[in-house]
Amino acid sequence: MELEAGDQTAERPPPRGRCMAWLSSELHYTALACCYQDNKAFAFSPWLPLKWKWQWAYLLYRWIIMLYFVGWLLYSLVNAAQTPDVQAKFFIYLTNWGFVCFNVYLFMAAISVTVTLYSHLHVGPPLDTLPPLTVRGGITCTLLTTVNGLHWATAIIGLEFPVAITVLFWIFFGNGDPDQTLSISSIHVHLLNGIIAFLDTWITGVPFRVLHVVYIILFGCVYIVFSALYYAGGGTDPANRPYIYPVLDYGGNPGLAAGVAVGCGLVFPVILHLIFYAMYLARYWLSTLVQTHWRVSRVSSSASGEEQALTMQQERTIVI
């Protein structure tokens, strides 16, 4: 729905009505899809003015962190290739699943921002122009381009799982051998990527939806099922122990393994996703205040009187 922030005469629904409308839109089945009101969320940082001289900084940021972490992923693969047992079992670890997903997200984010900015610059509408809106199942949204849709789809897993892995690793294995837990490679895949994913959630404009929690749960359950099948098939870790992680030792400690599987596959992803959703709401509210400040400053310097009031009414449209 749209709220005209500059229209003081517009009739607003009561708070209860707005809350019910928000709840209805968030829990509507169409929220499972990558459908959103504004494709600018996948190209621009909401903290910067919608001007090229500012948004180029965001584009540069996207490419720098993407190239940096892709470099570390390639280094990890090359390093693992030097030890045949480690190379063969590189992808049995949730850490590496999450690190690959994080890199896929960074790559898609860099491509999405580049393509969208290029299209606006050369063939598309100006930066401040909202795309046409479509109604799907009662939800007002924009049918995203393929690259923007992939950007959003990879962000769902690529932002949340690095944080989950960081938290779980330091809870379960933080007291391990410092030569391993504090190695430069471990710091990158068990700490730095989680920190960057957390910060990027605040920097980017990518939205979050409550129902997208199903994808996080699905990803976690897929790994839990994989770990169980791997154990049942006689799989071992690089040290030939009959488990991937000690806390998932289905034969030696089935009670602990079952508890960790349920907690990490079903409970923890829900809690984490709700935290990310709360961060998204806070980011949206704060960045809206910042964007309003930028627009007020721009209008104040370029218009006056009735012209200023008309421009303010047109530009201070807040889409929720």
Rounded to whole angstroms, how far apart are CA atoms 195 and 284? 20
Residue 300 confidence (pLDDT): 63
Token pair recorded at residue 195: 């920190």
- Examine the pLDDT at 71 and tell me if it is beyond 80: yes
Rounded to whole angstroms, how far apart are CA atoms 177 and 205? 39
Residue 254 confidence (pLDDT): 92
Average pLDDT over the chain, rounded to an integer: 81
**Would you say 189 and 95 are in contact if contact means Cβ atoms under 8 Å apart?**
yes
| Coil, strand or helix at 137 | coil
pLDDT digits (tens, 9 = 90+) for 113-161: 998 888 777 655 544 444 444 444 445 566 677 888 899 999 999 999 9
Q: At what angle do helices 193-203 and 52-81 cross, to 10 degrees?
A: 160
pTM of the predicted model as reported, rounded to 2 decimal places: 0.82
Rounded to whole angstroms, how far apart are CA atoms 209 and 313? 28
Beta-carbon contacts of 155 under 8 Å, excluding residues fewer than 6 positions away, are: 105, 108, 109, 204, 206
Please give the share of the chain, as a percent, with pLDDT higher than 70: 79
Please give the share of the chain, as a percent, with pLDDT higher than 90: 49
Q: Which helix (H) or strand (E) holds 4?
A: strand 2-4
- Examine the pLDDT at 73 and tell me if it is beyond 90: yes
| Coil, strand or helix at 111 | helix
**Annotated domain spans of the chain:** 37-298
Greater model confidence, 315 or 263: 263
Distances (CA, A) of 274 to 158, 213, 293: 16, 8, 29
Most confident of 4-18, 109-123, 239-253: 239-253
DSSP 124: S
Q: Length of the chain, please? A: 320
